[in-house]
Amino acid sequence: MKARRSVPWRDQASITVRRKGRQVLRVSRKTFRYALVLCGAAVVALLSLAFAWLAEIALEWNRHWTSATPWAALVVIPLAMAGLRWLTLRLAPMARGSGIPQVIAATAIPVPVASAGLVSLRQALWKIPLTAAALLAGASVGREGPSVQVGAAAMLAWGRFWQERIGVKLEFRANELIAAGAAGGLAAAFNTPLAGVVFAIEELGRDAAVRWNRLALSGVLASGFIALAIAGNNPYFHAAAAAGFAQGAWGWTLASGVLNGAVGGLFAATLVRGATGLVPGRWRPWLQRHPVRVAFLCGLVVAVLGCLTGGATYGTGYEQTAALLNGHPAESAWFGIAKWVATVASYVCGIPGGIFTPSLAIGAGMGEHIVQLAGPAADPRTLALVSMAAFLAAATQAPITASVIVMEMTRSQDLMFHLLMATLVASLVSRQFCPRPFYHAMALRFHKEVMHSHHRSPSGPAGAAPPSGAQM
C-alpha cells in the first residue's frame, strides 16, 4: 500500500486560512446585499412617512378653510383642480392617477423606459406635493396609491445607483426592485407589513415576469417594520372593540358582499372608462382637447357635493370612516353615494391621487346603508368594517389583499372569516360589471402609451433597451 504523503503543518494552515477567507468573503457579499436592500427599504419607509406627514397637514388645513368659508369651495376647488391638472401635464404626466397601474406596467417594459417615465424618481417625487395640494384643495383622493409609485421609483433608483455608479452587482431583476419598493411603500403607508407582502404577491405578482425571492420580500417587510418603529405600532383606524354578530349575521355579511360588489364593480368600470366614456360620443373630442377645462368641471362637481354634505366628501374620508367604525353615524344620510361620485370626479380629471382610502370610506358608507336595513340584527361597527373590505375588494378585485389590509389597519383578526367571505363574494360580483381588474386595465393603457411614445422618440427602437428582467 502506498504511503500517504504528509502535508507540512504550515501548508495545511495556509490552505485552511484561504478556504475560510473565501467563506467569509461569500458571507460578507451576501450580508452586504442584504444591507443594501434594507437601506433601500429604509429610504422607502422614510419617504412614505414624510408623504403621510405632508398629507395630514394638507387635510388639516382643508378642514380649517372649508369650515370657515364653506361656499368658497365652489370657486377654490374647481380652480385648484384645473391648476393641478395643468401642472401634472407640464411637470409629471406619468404621475397622474393612483400610481399602482404605472408600477404594474413598469414591471413589463424595458428598464430605461420605465425609469424615464412610469417609475421615474423625478416624476414620482413631484407626485408627493401634487397629491398633497389635491388634498389641501378638497379632492377625494388618497395618498396610499401614490406611495406605491414613489416607493417603486425610489427602490429602483437606489438599485441603479449602486449598480451603475458604484459597480455593485445586486443580482436583482429590475422588476423585482420595482415591485419590492412598491409593496414596501404600501406597507409603510398603512403601517401594515403583512398587507404589503400580500399585495406584492396578489397584485404585483400576477405577472410571471415578477419572481419573488427571500431578499425582495425581506425588503417589503423591512419598509413596514421601519415605519412601525418610527411612527409607533398604532392601527391606521382606532376602532372601538366591535361586538360580535348576532344570530343570522352571516346573511348580512353575504348581503354586504353582493351590494358592495355591484357598487364597487360599477365604480371600477366607471374609472376605466374615464371622463370621455361618461359623455356622448360627440362631446369626446372636446374633452380630449381641453383636459384642464375638464378638471375644472370635475372640481365643480366635487365642490357641490362637499357643500351638500357639510364637507364630508373632501379628502380621504378618514374621519368619516373612523366615526362609522366607532358606531357614530355619518352626518350625511347619503355619504356613501356622495363619496362614490366625488372620488370618480377626482380620479377621471387626471390629477395625482389614489383610490385606496376613499374606497374604504365609500365601503363604510355603504355599510351604514345596510345597517338601516338590518336593524338590530347586526352590529353597525362590524358591518361598516366588513363593507370597507368588500368595496375595496370589488374596486381592485384583490380580495385577499383587501381582507388583510382591513384586518391589520383595524386589528380585527377575530372577523377574518367574515372579511374573507365578504371580499370573495364582492370580487366575484364585481367581475360581472368590470371583467378586467381596474389596476391591470389601467396598467395596459399606460403600457401602450409609454411604448408608443418610446417608439416615436429619436433615441431608437424599444428593442435596443435591455429587458426589464435584466439583473442588477
Q: What residue ranges of the chain have pLDDT lower than 50?
A: 1-2, 24, 208, 242-243, 245-247, 459-470
pLDDT at 469: 46
Q: Which candidate, 367, 305, 368, 385, places its Cα nearest to that of 338?
A: 305
pLDDT at 260: 94
pLDDT at 462: 40
* Alpha-carbon span 368 to 363, nearest angstrom: 9
* Alpha-carbon span 391 to 365, nearest angstrom: 10
Residues 6+ apart with CB under 8 A from 273: none
Contact 426, 456 (CB under 8 A): no
pLDDT at 208: 47
User: Interior CA angle at 54 toward 53 and 60, to 5°?
Assistant: 90
| Residue 121 neighbours by CB distance under 10 Å | 18
Q: Which candidate, 370, 366, 365, 340, places its Cα nearest to that of 355?
A: 340
Contact 111, 465 (CB under 8 A): yes
Place of cell 370573495: 424
Reported as a single tens digit per residue, the pLDDT across 392-437 is: 999 999 899 899 888 888 888 888 888 999 999 999 999 999 998 8
In the chain the first and final C-alpha atoms are separated, in Å, by: 54
HSE-CB at 257 with a 13 A cutoff on CA atoms is: 23
